[in-house]
Structure 1
Amino acid sequence: MFESRHIKTFHEVIKAGSYSAAARSLGYTQPAITQQMKALERDVGSPLFTRVGRKMQLTEAGEALARHAQAILDSLSTARQQLDAIARLRSGRVRICAFPSASATLIPEAIARLTTGHPGVHLELYEGEPPESLRRLVRGECDIALAFTYPGMHAEVPAELVEFRLMEDLLTVLLPTGHPLARRRAVHLRDLAEERWIAGCPRCSANFLHACAEEGFVPDIAFTTDDNLVVQSLVAAGVGVAMMPALVLSFLCHEKVTGRAVEPHTRRQVSAYALREHLRIPATALVLDELKAVAAARIGC
């Protein structure tokens, strides 16, 4: 293994033509240059220079190393610049795995803030529902995972993950605009017992079934999908109603869909997770801070 300072000195000796000239250029003493070249020759296992009269001439090994010296130094310089940029938050890549409604709301706002303040930080976005998103985080397939839990739900979080609570997301019900209960500001879940329902992801469906059981009925689930746009289209077509988080109301695409608060009130906890050791990576810490800021702004609205 060659030391980078030895390669730099070797390159300067070649350019300057002698140990003494290289010493003057680098601000070293000539004995220091001699010692570094001897150390490099030990690493190479062969002499690098030979004297022809008063001139220094590269040996075959020296010529071979000389052909690579500039590329080695250029590569080290590029690496230093990239590492410095990452440390100073001028660049960096952060991979986020988030559930769909967060991908459509919290993530775009965070990206907009990052683009303004830190344009060199790049985000890669993957969609995934919990608990699979947390498994992907543990496997190293992403750097931050956004996930949610419902009250009373036992959700195992791997010990190596750190949780950052972002916000509580109120559950609502999506109704066709012409539905009789759409005139109300809030709808009691029990009043929808006879409706056909559209259920979501497994975690959301489990909470929905539990909420219905608490109100004394078993819902008629006609469709199941975790695609929020499909849910809206089905509700707009009048083929069912759906219990959805309030985040979804931020991107309602159908004029024929109305969102109303559902009683009794239930909120899901939205959190960001990261591996403990990744918190020391500046870009990851920055993205977490931006997500917290975005969530706090929504809470304050």
Structure 2
Amino acid sequence: MRANPERASYRHRARRHPRRPASGLTDTWTTVDGVDVFYRTSRNAEGAPVMTHLHGFGLSGRYLLPTAELLSDEFLTYVPDLPGFGRSGRPSRPFDVPDLAHAAAGFLDDRGVTSTTLVGNSMGCPVICEFAHRYPERLDRAVLVSPAGGIANQPLRRAIGQLTRDGGREPARMLGVATPDYLRFGVPSTIRLFRALTRYPTLERLLELTIPTLVVLGDRDPLLPGPARVQEVAAQTDNHVLVVLIQGAAHAINFSHPGELAHAIRLFMRDEPIVDDPDSPGTASVYEIHRGTLHPPAKPKPDGGGTPGG
């Protein structure tokens, strides 16, 4: 791929003078398979477990930072912009889901990471499923937040309508984060990648997962089927899937409800029952709606704490 002098110059300046963004993670660059890759990372001591956050369709990792930062004290954290997204360079040809999973593995190789927990939002969830299919020995656990790309989002005009409705349910500040990413990604890339997502066997790959998996849904997410359908799918798996519902959340939970999501992830990583976070007061509440038997049994909820969709 022909180098972009402006991007290369910026990358070299960033390497000499890494800046500390508001998120508290360090911005930096590397090169993977000839493509400049921009990423954010924490500075944990050696030996901390690795957690890598993968972004959604057309976006960069920027909107994942609110949740990633809350977890960065406990995990060696990476938030890359996958090739073709955000500030990273474009590959020589358009990537599909398997290509993006391979790119994520290449990024981890470049960082010397042999095993990680992957946290994905939206399109990042099929990428995680493909990563698990190709590199099962390298994945400790999976966190699938608002998994998208299945039949519920087809055809493209339906997905556009769903995204439009979701935009009105996200925090207003999300618009300033997402708009530059979508504009840079462009219409041709959007159409190509959407077609690739519709051909990807998301459900088949999900049912193949054999590692502890946390699925997090928002009850206001217009891109996903209802909790009953999610429970039906989860029940087909090999007792390792834990499904959690965040009331009041739409699709971009990593951005809109970072406290609740980070709390649920921490409990999942400890194999503890998922309960509401007392440190994140407000209208949002977190509930388990499905738990496989490989996890410890959930403690009963207090009277009046029924499970939505259960």
TM-score strictly above 0.5: no
Tell me the TM-score normalized by structure 2: 0.27
More strand by share: 1
**Larger RCO of the pair (alpha carbons < 8 Å, separation 6+):** 1
Tell me the TM-score normalized by structure 1: 0.28
Larger Cα Rg: Structure 1 or Structure 2? 1
